[in-house]
Amino acid sequence: MIDLRNLREHTEVVSSQLRNRGVPKVTVDELLATDVQLREAIAARDEARARVNDLSREVGRLSKQGEVGAAAEVRERSRQLGASLKGMEAAVAQLAERRDAIWLVLPNIPAHDAPIGEDESANRVVRYWSPGGGHQDPGDFTLPAFTSYQQVPHWEIGANLAILDLERAGKISGSMFAMYRGQGARLLRALTNFALAAHADAYEEIRPPTLVRRETMMATGHLPKFADEAYAVERDGLYAIPTAEVPLTSLGRDEIFAEADLPLRFTAYTSCFRREAGAAGRDTRGLLRLHEFDKVELLVYCVPSDATAMHFDILSRAERLIQRLGLIYRVLDLCTGDLGQSSARTFDLEVYSPGTGKWLEVSSVSWFSDYQARRANIRYRPSSGGGPEFVNTLNGSALAWPRIFATLLEVGHQEDGTVHLPPDLATYFGAATLESQKIRA
RNA sequence: GGAGGGAUGGCAGAGCGGACGAAUGCGAAGCACUUGAAAUGCUUUGGGCCCAAAGCCCCGUGGGUUCGAAUCCCACUCCCUCCGCCA
């Protein structure tokens, strides 16, 4: 959540920044009003408590001195005061609940340099990259020509090679689930090894649990607001993670790190589970949108002053992977209206899929400032002294596999039906070409 | 799943109804002594609310009893041991 003290002290600024994200002024006003009432209620309660504490001590003192009558009289006064305390405590609890109901769903304050806009149409394309042209400004970029076989959608290529079996995935789990077979399954494993190896220089590899508690989902902001997006195992109160960001952020929950130990950098390969409740029927062919998919994630805790550098480090790592895979991509700077709830600034990476004619998001690299750290209570002790401060958290996918897998099939598709793999990946895969294989039965 | 035991500050560990935010030891920081270090001595050393002070809150979490709860009661969570089951 956002810093309430900052909101109190710079109401106008914060309020207008939030308005850029579509938060109406009345919501902010209500939060502030509730906050004032809550703090007044707390002050009144604490004062009453202080008096009860005083009287109680008095009872103890008198009892010890054997002044039974006086003790009984003070005890009675304290009892009455205690009764009125109950009401004050209830008032505090009620106001705190009302404040939290707003506070917890309020989005993060966007970064100053995030483009302002209402929806995805206002996202700014920062640059393009292609194997032939390298980095290019948006004005200079044109898509290269693709052969006719490159324009075959991946689901056809995958079915022909028998490395993708979406029909049977449907039988097993329903639509929007995928099954990779033979060389397809192996290619996925190669991609994962390829990515983990690329980050091993600076990021500790983690294999976290993928079913997590409610608090863990709260910490990243995935609950309470986005409950419809998550798969829940109700009987056990657990949720299937939508991204490794969730467990990795809670790894440091309620901890205080030494500044010297920062930055902490983690990478994890996990399955990710998403109900896609709001996206039913959109772009769901083939591997475009799945309920379960694999992803390698990068996550960083750092001091605020390092956050921007870390943001660009994650971004460049994700870009570097796509470059090594030889895919065309573009970098988007998400506008204020399109940012995820917890994010202050996000870059999306989209690869071009010639088989579907679409740009596909394969990575989202976000800076959360202290929004998640405040929720998750992740702090560091400044080496200059002073009390603990919240860390900044950042993360990025590097990368999400299904859309990469799809694009690799299309881009590498040859006239004879085989698929050529980029050399860097071939090393991990153990062969340079995907060839038709026979599915048993 | 069954039966027991436990959860206290960075760590270890006391306290089991009245000045306890908490003894003691270790660790860490500062100062003194020392050419330097060790040893020794003294001092400091949790977090939060609050502009701050005063005050309040936190002894796994949430309730309850009481004038008063780290201490008593209830529920939950987690950890350990044994049995069962299982990859």
**Confidence class of residue A383 from pLDDT cuts 50, 70 and 90?**
confident
Rounded distance, CA A46 to CA A52, Å?
Answer: 10
CA A52 – C1' B30 distance (Å)?
Answer: 40
Per-domain residue ranges for chain A?
4-103, 120-434
Which amino acid does the sequence have at A170?
G
**Domain A4-103: which topology?**
Helix Hairpins (1.10.287)
Rounded distance, CA A7 to CA A146, Å?
Answer: 52
Residue-wise pLDDT tens digits, A60-119: 888 888 888 888 899 999 998 888 888 888 889 889 989 988 998 899 999 999 999 999
Tokens of A387: 């009390």
Rounded distance, CA A79 to CA A68, Å?
Answer: 16
- As ranges, strand B nucleotides with an atom below 7 A of a protein CB are 18-19, 47-51, 54-57, 63, 66-68
Judge if A4-103 and A120-434 fold alike in CATH terms. Answer: no
User: What was the pLDDT predicted at A441?
Assistant: 45
Q: Span A273-296, mean pLDDT?
A: 86
Q: Span A42-52, mean pLDDT?
A: 90
Residue-wise pLDDT tens digits, A314-324: 999 999 999 99
> At residue A373, does pLDDT exceed 60?
yes
User: What was the pLDDT predicted at A279?
Assistant: 65
| Cβ < 7 Å from nucleic strand B | A 4-5, 39, 42, 45-47, 49-50, 52-53, 55-57, 59-61, 63, 75, 78-79, 82, 93, 256, 379, 381, 387-388
Residue-wise pLDDT tens digits, A172-189: 999 999 999 999 999 999
**Range from A13-22, A257-266, A308-317, A340-349 carrying the lowest mean pLDDT:** A257-266
Q: By C-alpha distance, which of A271, A269, A352, A346 is closest to A314? A: A346
* Beta pairing, strands A389-390 & A255-258: unpaired
What is the value of ipTM here, to two decimals?
Answer: 0.86
- CATH superfamily name and code, A120-434: Bira Bifunctional Protein; Domain 2 (3.30.930.10)
User: What was the pLDDT predicted at A225?
Assistant: 83
